[in-house]
A = this chain, B = another copy of it.
Amino acid sequence: MGKTEQTEKEKKIDKKNDKKADKKLDKKIEKKTDKKIEKKPLIKKPDLSKPRMERTEIVKKLETKLNPKRFVHTIGVEYTAANLAFVHGADVEKARLAGLLHDCAKYIPTDEKLKRAKKYGIKPSKFEKANPDLIHGKLGAYMAKDKYGVDDPEILSAITYHTTGHPDMSLLDKIIFVADYIEPNRKLIRDLPEIRREAYLDLDKCIVHILKNTLEYLKTTDAAIDELTQETYDFYVKKLTK
């Protein structure tokens, strides 16, 4: 589920741009990777033949895949995650890598996302079947492993849950979830200056604030709400009031 207001509003424009920019590229990738992926539908073990890429290489690759706006957002998330890691004592390099790759599957056209997920052995929920864009977190984690050689489970978890969050998140999960919402390129939606301060002062309070505003906003639209978003909100409200 798209969690920010601007994401929802700009979804249509974004999708259109994505399709144009990525259609050609995507077909090429599809052709190249189809056979390879079919042979290994469940990527569970790290593929040692594909060592983790250097940052420069990852950035170059992302720049060819993502549209310019999403690429700039991605770098904003990377550095915001690193700064949150400074303060909350997380691993800075893991935060950067998870930030860089959190949207690595978002460029894939909506109607291709489920196909691609199937190839990785991801079983979409009913909700994801009805809203294929919402699978980009899970798909991103598989692609981070397959295309960028990242096999660290903490990083892959943070990519998987960056949009919905989940109850009892790890520190890295929280950092990527929050960085995605607050990074400096985001439009100034409701309460953002306050949420940005909370991100550094009280991470759980910040998460509740983000989820509260997201749920409230989504209820004013026709957008579907992933039940995990509500569960995450309920979990952290309970945690804060304990």
Residues on A lying within 8 angstroms of B by beta carbon are: 56, 68, 75-76, 79-80, 82-84, 86-87, 92, 96, 182-184, 193, 196-197, 199-201
Q: How far is the CB of A185 from chain B (nearest CB, A)?
A: 9
**Chain B hits for A201, CB < 8 A:** 87
> How many chain copies does the complex carry?
2
Interface of A, helix, strand, loop or mixed by DSSP: helix
Contact residue among B75, B82, B86, B196 (Cβ-Cβ distance under 8 Å from A86)? B196
A105 to B217, CA, bound (A): 45
Question: CB within 8 A of A197: which of B80, B86, B183, B184?
Answer: B86
Task: Check if A182 sits within 8 Å of B86, measured CB to CB.
Answer: yes
Contacts of A92 in B (CB 8 A): 184
Chain B residues with Cβ below 8 Å from A76 are 79
* Sample of 6 further A-B pairs with CB below 8 A, known A79-B79, A83-B84: A75-B75, A76-B79, A79-B184, A83-B184, A86-B193, A86-B200
> Roughly how many angstroms separate A146 CA and B231 CA in the complex, as a whole number?
54
Q: Which residues of B contact A68 (CB under 8 A)?
A: 56
Contact B87 A79 (CB under 8 A): no
A9 to B75, CA, bound (A): 28
Tell which of B96, B184, B193, B200 touches A200, judged by Cβ atoms closer than 8 Å: B200
By the criterion CB–CB under 8 Å, are A184 and B87 in contact?
Answer: no
- Specify which of B56, B96, B182, B199 is in contact with A184 (CB 8 Å cutoff): B96
- CB neighbours (8 Å) of A182 from chain B are 86
**Chain B residues near A200 (CB-CB < 8 A):** 83, 86-87, 200
In the complex, the chain B residue whose C-beta lies closest to that of A183 is: B79
Which residue of chain B has the shortest Cβ distance to A81 in the bound complex? B184
Pairs A–B under 8 Å by Cβ, sample size 29:
A56-B68, A75-B75, A75-B79, A76-B79, A79-B79, A79-B80, A79-B83, A79-B183, A79-B184, A80-B83, A82-B184, A83-B83, A83-B84, A83-B184, A83-B200, A86-B182, A86-B184, A86-B193, A86-B196, A86-B197, A86-B199, A86-B200, A87-B196, A87-B197, A87-B200, A87-B201, A92-B184, A96-B184, A200-B200
Across-interface contacts of A75 in B (CB, < 8 A): 75, 79
Alpha-carbon distance A82/B68, docked complex (angstroms): 20
A200 to B182, alpha carbons, bound, how many Å?
16
